[in-house]
Amino acid sequence: MATENLIPQKQERSAGPSASAMAFKSLWKSVKDLAELIFSSPTAVIGMVVVLAWVLVAIFAPLITKYSPLFEDYMHIDKGPFGLHMLGTDDLGRDVWSRVAFGARTILSLGPLSVLVAFVCGCALGLPAGYYGGWVDEAVMRVLDAFMAFPTILLYMIIISAVGASSFNVVIAIAIGGAPGIARLVRALTMDIKTREYVAAAKLRGEPDFIIMLREILPNCRGPLIVDFLLRIGYAAFYIGTLGFLGLGLPPPTPDWGGMVQEGHSHMTVNVWPVLSATLAIVTLVIGLNMFADGLREESMRYQ
Amino acid sequence: MDPSPILSLKNVAISYKTRKRDVDAVRDVSFDISQGENLGLVGESGCGKSTVAFSIVNFLGPNGRVTHGDVLFKGEQLRGRSEEDLRKLRGADISMVYQEPMSALNPSMRIQDQMAESLVAHRGLSKKEAYGESVAALKKVYMPDPDSVMLRYPHQLSGGQQQRVLIAMAMLNNPSLLIMDEPTTALDVTVEAAVLDLIAELQERYQTATLYISHNLGVVARVSHKVAVMYAGEIVELSDTRAIYRNPMHPYTMGLMRCLPDVDAPKGTRTLHPIEGRVPSPDHLPLGCIFSPRCELASEDCSHKHPDLVEMAPGHQVRCLRSLEWKDAKKIWEMEELAQEPCPDRANPNPDMVLNVEKAKVYYRVPLKTVGGLFGLEKRNFVRASDDVSFFIRRGRTLGIVGESGCGKSTLARAIVGLEPLFAGRIDFLGLDVSKPLSKRTAATIKELQMVFQDPNGVLNPSFSVGDQIAFSLRRFHTVPSNQVRAEVERLLQAVKLDESYYNRLPRQLSGGEKQRVGIARAISTNPAMVVCDEPVSALDVSVQAAVLNLLLEIQNSNNTTMILISHDLSSVRFFADDVAVMYLGRIVEIGPCETIYQPPNHPYTTALLAAVPRPDPDLKSSHIRLSGTVPSAVNPPSGCRFNTRCPFKIGEICEQEEPPRREMGNGHLIFCHYTPEDLKTLKT
């Protein structure tokens, strides 16, 4: 019966330190593979450079700005760029460059955070829908269809006007708006992966369903999900801007790109700088993220 | 025969551009094909067979090109010709038949339009003339009812019919050269046999020069006059078919032959000799003889001297430094007797019963077609994947289940391990009722009944290392204390002949055979009493198949594991099984000890299956019992005997109306057929 007589039992474990070295090597190799993947696509590289630039600006915002984003310089109101203020000041005399740099912090923390929340919700709905099928699938999907029937921006406006404008609520709104799309994607991937033989093998170990979903299925959806994640951060940045412009974003004085456009657009003819800087910031970040995601997707498709 | 060859390749080298550098996929390939000749090109996958074929008509894709040598077609140089010139040749004077008939036909066009295309394009025929020619071509390939086939779309044809259409299309413009790239690999054995008959006959009748690519030595033995054996981008042996099979001179060719299970050799009479290692990738070729790292006969010289293709006998070229030494050394390569002593438990003639399946039915509901169905107004239809199947297995024995695809073999296996719910019937395992799905079985039962899967690429979770995946199962069943899990995984890896460095590897770093071994290690990690193997080797190269089959046999011998082997390959079943059940359309038509199944008298279906097995022996005249058509739908199986629609020995109405009775042939051998045992013995095979 036993396998023992096949191979003599090993006396001691020999591969202690070398095993961890090998684990490190294989991790290093996957990092290297990813880098190779990114660097073989010029689109992805350009996108990554742009996004990284904004990430650096956000991280080092206090170091690369001379003023607090809230400091009002009464001596210089509505000025174009000059020595003291490299991108000029807005109608309250606040430094536009400071507000753009600190605004990057807002958008780069709220964007990924809200998409992350959306992904958690999307996976929590999509995995069981795809895995169990049948009436679970029907129930989940019909509810999500109802959400998807609303134009996204309308949905955000309804949610924010119901619960009020705050960074927490913006995250919630974007998560609710994004979750149905993600759930659909996860469901489709799950339906494909659940037929694989390693899932059958896990069932033959009597693993509980949630372990199968989290260990056998979800990790193997990661390719398409990572690309979708990046694209959605772009959209989130875009929607946070839109909400800010509609006055539904972060409450004022928080530095927020959408808010800057909103505050500045009424006297754009007097001073275009706050609006122009904030718009360019949104545009470059969104395009950067899209290029990165697209490049990554194309390049990883080419491997298959 | 025409002295000047139709196709002549001279020292052809082909290279592919990759992200890093140019890789020489094929080097120094030369061969001729004359009119009426069929050259078989064989070798494992990754040896450059298809690359050679594609180079002839320059289908290498944007990153491949012929870097050296001449491709002469009827004496004219094809290499470096313009796309325009080549296009005029393709489909007209040179045509191709591909491996996957479904993807070679355009799914959105009727057969008549697809066939007419090449006639209109190359010969400028009118639509009407083209139609006539196409029907004539379909008749040539014995397509029943060609006029109705012309109106159909590809998905309305069976795989065998599709391949016939493709062959007819290839023959439309009477090509001088026909290139066939694994044309029967995707087909069932029975269909394959019929298509091979057709190819051989067309060959005889139209004298077309043919390049036939296959990995299956049995298939090539049937159709080819000459055989070229390719290894890692080089031809290592080239000769006429009989000489290659009777007197192989290159160790690689011999290796390919020795690793084939023989459909005529019963279990335990021989072991298989796999070729160790794998085909080197073209960018990491070994120095010296490219086969030397895997060659059991390699000498010192082989690792630094590259051999040339030398003519050893008239028309028999071999690329081996040592071939002169064993010109008459056939005995080195005699099949050795099975060295292993079978496990003492196996000597027991009547061990206890491990699995008993009684009238098992696995049905799937057909999805509702009408809105009324929602309210119960539609008659529920079922796919009867497995219908009233009964059998038992004794401890330590292997039951082989054979049949064409669509016969319900895999469904039955999945129902036994609990992956599919049982519709009716009963399964007893070790005296416990396991008729329930996995979620209702206890961990102790699950642990004793494990499975080995078919697709090496799907068998392992790509996100976890090999060691982790085996450890999951050890931890789950607490097979060993948790501080010994790693040691146990390493022991299991050794048991399947992989060293412990595999612990941290990810599945994508493994070859197909290695993945399959890990799958086996995972299955035996719980010390199961029974392992169900669902086509464990059918997706692997022959050399690797042998190693995996040996491994399974070794595990069975040392652990006295009971096994079910599901396979469409009757040779590997013969190698590994003690008992065989033949399934057709959800029913067992014949069951019994191996030796009774592989010898007449048989059920007519078994006879046809056995007749279809391609054998690696050019002198064997195979029997001419062929099945037409395909397995009917399991939603509405034929009444009476389910095999009556295809049976070559059908008696008459009785077969359509009455269920066939159970005929006891003695020694536990059962046949379900209307013929009496005496009549069955007289059936011509």
Average pLDDT taken over every residue of chain B: 84
Residues from chain A that touch B500, judged by Cβ atoms under 8 A, are: 14-15
B6-51 pLDDT, tens digit per residue, is 888 888 888 887 766 778 888 888 999 988 889 999 988 888 888 8
Quick one: which of B573, B583, B591 has its CA closest to B671? B591
**Amino acid (one-letter) located at A281:** A
Q: Which residue has the tokens 């099945």?
A: B627
3-class state of residue B552 by DSSP: helix
Structure tokens at B321: 């430094």
Quick one: which of A169, A285, A178 has its CA closest to A232? A178
The answer, yes or no, to whether residue A121 has pLDDT greater than 90, is yes
How close, in Å, is residue B153 to chain A by CA atoms?
27
Residue B373 confidence (pLDDT): 64
The answer, yes or no, to whether residue A20 has pLDDT greater than 70, is no
Q: Which of B252-266, B274-288, B507-521 has the highest mean pLDDT?
A: B507-521
Average pLDDT over residues B317-329: 73
Distances (CA, A) of B399 to B127, B260, B566, B577, B592: 55, 20, 8, 6, 9
**Amino acid (one-letter) located at A95:** D
Q: Nearest residue of B to residue A303 by CA position?
A: B19
Q: Nearest residue of A to residue B493 by CA position?
A: A7
With bands split at pLDDT 50, 70 and 90, how would you rate the model's confidence at A122? very high
Rounded Cα gap, residues B669 and B676, in angstroms: 14
Average pLDDT over residues A277-283: 88
This model of the complex carries an ipTM of 0.80
Residue B370 confidence (pLDDT): 67
With bands split at pLDDT 50, 70 and 90, how would you rate the model's confidence at A212? very high
User: Which strands, in side-by-side order, build the sheet including B22-33?
Assistant: B22-33, B7-17, B64-73, B76-77
With bands split at pLDDT 50, 70 and 90, how would you rate the model's confidence at B191? confident
Residue A11 confidence (pLDDT): 37
How close, in Å, is residue A20 to chain B by CA atoms?
9
Candidate from A7, A26, A207 with C-beta closest to B504: A26
B212-239 pLDDT, tens digit per residue, is 998 888 888 888 999 999 998 899 999 9
Q: Which residue has the tokens 């993945």?
A: B515
Residue A19 confidence (pLDDT): 54
How close, in Å, is residue B511 to chain A by CA atoms?
17
Residue A180 confidence (pLDDT): 92
Q: Which residue has the tokens 């005699």?
A: B334
With bands split at pLDDT 50, 70 and 90, how would you rate the model's confidence at B144? confident
Residue B185 confidence (pLDDT): 79
Q: Which residue has the tokens 């149905």?
A: A180
Domains (range + CATH), chain A: 40-65+80-303 (1.10.3720.10)
**Pairing of the two strands B662-664 and B670-672:** antiparallel
Residues from chain A that touch B418, judged by Cβ atoms under 8 A, are: 203-204
- Helices and strands (DSSP H and E) totals, chain A: 12, 0
Residues from chain B that touch A217, judged by Cβ atoms under 8 A, are: none
Return the HEC string of B568-588.
CCHHHHHHHCCEEEEEECCEE
Dihedral, CA atoms, A216, A220, A226, A227, nearest 10 degrees? -140
With bands split at pLDDT 50, 70 and 90, how would you rate the model's confidence at B244? confident
Quick one: which of B511, B517, B507 has its CA closest to B549? B517
Residue B400 confidence (pLDDT): 93
Residue B84 confidence (pLDDT): 83
Residues from chain A that touch B464, judged by Cβ atoms under 8 A, are: 215, 219
The answer, yes or no, to whether residue A12 has pLDDT greater than 60, is no
Torsion A187-A192-A194-A195 (CA) sign: positive
Residue B537 confidence (pLDDT): 85
For residues B122 and B170, is the Cβ–Cβ distance under 8 A? no
Rounded Cα gap, residues B360 and B381, in angstroms: 18
Average pLDDT over residues B304-331: 76
Candidate from A23, A201, A222 with C-beta closest to B522: A201
Return the HEC string of B611-676.
HHCCCCCCCCCCCCCCCCCCCCCCCCCCCCCCCCCCCCCCCCHHHHHCCCCEEECCCCCEEECCCC
The answer, yes or no, to whether residue A120 has pLDDT greater than 90, is yes
The answer, yes or no, to whether residue A207 has pLDDT greater than 70, is yes
Residue A13 confidence (pLDDT): 40
Quick one: which of B391, B409, B401 has its CA closest to B586? B409
Whether the full predicted model's pTM is greater than 0.95, yes or no, is no
The answer, yes or no, to whether residue A6 has pLDDT greater than 60, is no
The answer, yes or no, to whether residue A76 has pLDDT greater than 50, is yes
B619-675 pLDDT, tens digit per residue, is 777 677 788 777 787 788 888 888 888 888 888 888 888 888 888 888 889 999 888
B341-388 pLDDT, tens digit per residue, is 454 445 566 678 888 888 888 888 777 666 666 666 667 778 888 888
The answer, yes or no, to whether residue B1 has pLDDT greater than 80, is no
Residue B92 confidence (pLDDT): 80
Q: Nearest residue of A to residue B554 by CA position?
A: A6
Residue B349 confidence (pLDDT): 62
Q: Pick the residue of A4, A5, A6 with the most B CBs within 10 A to test the interface with B by mutation.
A: A6
Q: Is the peptide bond before B604 cis (omega within 30 degrees of 0)?
A: no
Candidate from A7, A26, A205 with C-beta closest to B472: A205
Query: CB–CB of B559 and A3 under 8 A?
Result: yes
Residues composing chain B: 685
The answer, yes or no, to whether residue B548 has pLDDT greater than 80, is yes
Rounded Cα gap, residues B517 and B505, in angstroms: 14
Structure tokens at B229: 């054996």
Rounded Cα gap, residues A210 and A201, in angstroms: 15
**Percent of chain B having pLDDT more than 90?**
8
How close, in Å, is residue A135 to chain B by CA atoms?
13
Average pLDDT over residues A271-298: 86
